[in-house]
Amino acid sequence: MDQRRLLGAFLRARREALSPAVVGQPPGAHGRRRTPGLRREEVAQLGGLSTTWYTWVEQGRDIALSAAALARLAEALRLNPAERAYLFELTRRRDPAVPAAAREPAAAPPELLDTLATLSVPAYLLDRLWQARGWNEAAGRLFAPWLDSGEPCLLRFVFLHEAARQFIVDWEERARRLLAEFRADTGHNPDDPAMADLVRDLRRHSPDFAMFWNDHAVLAREGGLRTFAHPEDGRLRYEQVTFVPATQPDHKLVVLLPR
């Protein structure tokens, strides 16, 4: 099912699940109802929207979808936070109710930090700007060249610190991969000023970053073999696994399994 039809099916399901009483409609208002929930014209009226426009959206037609109209629709359908986020994800629009200023990196959730502490293998937590928000003892030892550098941002360490080129085996290949993964993240947050500032600063200070960024490569952050030249322990090999917590999609939990 394409995105437009998926959107229409979602809206219809939410409309039919919404009791008229919830939006102040008395029992029996507007005559007998043949289907559950609200009528399309009632949803449109609640959101101050055109009935024709809403009908076409629900039918999956290819019409304009502004963020403002979607916000009114979310209010009309009484969407909960998860449903509202899903609506904007489906339409690839930024929710105007989430201002850029509120998107500054938050402190790491305590439950994720507790999870790190239970792991015996290296593990660390990244926020959406790829800053280390927490790590366990094993990661502190493995990534000492990074985590002891005073630079929490993984991208800044990789591209601006000479130690990264000594620590990361096959530096150029890994750096290109990291940048392609980060570009994928920027696609989820196209209007994020903090991300834009990070990219602008790195392009200005790292010729390699600027060159790789112009390749426009996009990759998902996947697992795979990682090899490091540790200053004390020599060459170390790990299999990397990355998890995105369901309740904290702006964070990544990265775990490295010895190989």
Give the pLDDT confidence score for residue 142 in this predicted structure.
Answer: 96
Average pLDDT, the chain: 88
Q: Does residue 126 have a pLDDT over 50?
A: yes
Residue type, 258: P
> Mean pLDDT across the stretch 172-201?
88
How far apart are alpha carbons 16 and 8 in whole angstroms? 12
Q: φ, ψ for residue 65 (rounded to 5)?
A: -130, 100
DSSP symbols for 3-35:
HHHHHHHHHHHHHHHS-GGGGTPPTTTTS--SS
Residue type, 44: A
Give 72-111 pLDDT, tens digit per residue: 999 999 999 889 988 988 898 888 887 554 455 566 788 8
Highest mean pLDDT among 92-96, 198-202, 218-222: 198-202
Q: Is 32 exposed, middle or buried (0-12, 13-18, 19+ CB in 10 A)?
A: exposed
Highest mean pLDDT among 11-20, 84-93, 169-178: 169-178
Domains of the chain: 3-98 (1.10.260.40), 105-258 (3.30.450.180)
Give the pLDDT confidence score for residue 101 in this predicted structure.
Answer: 46
Neighbours of 189 (CB within 10 A): 17
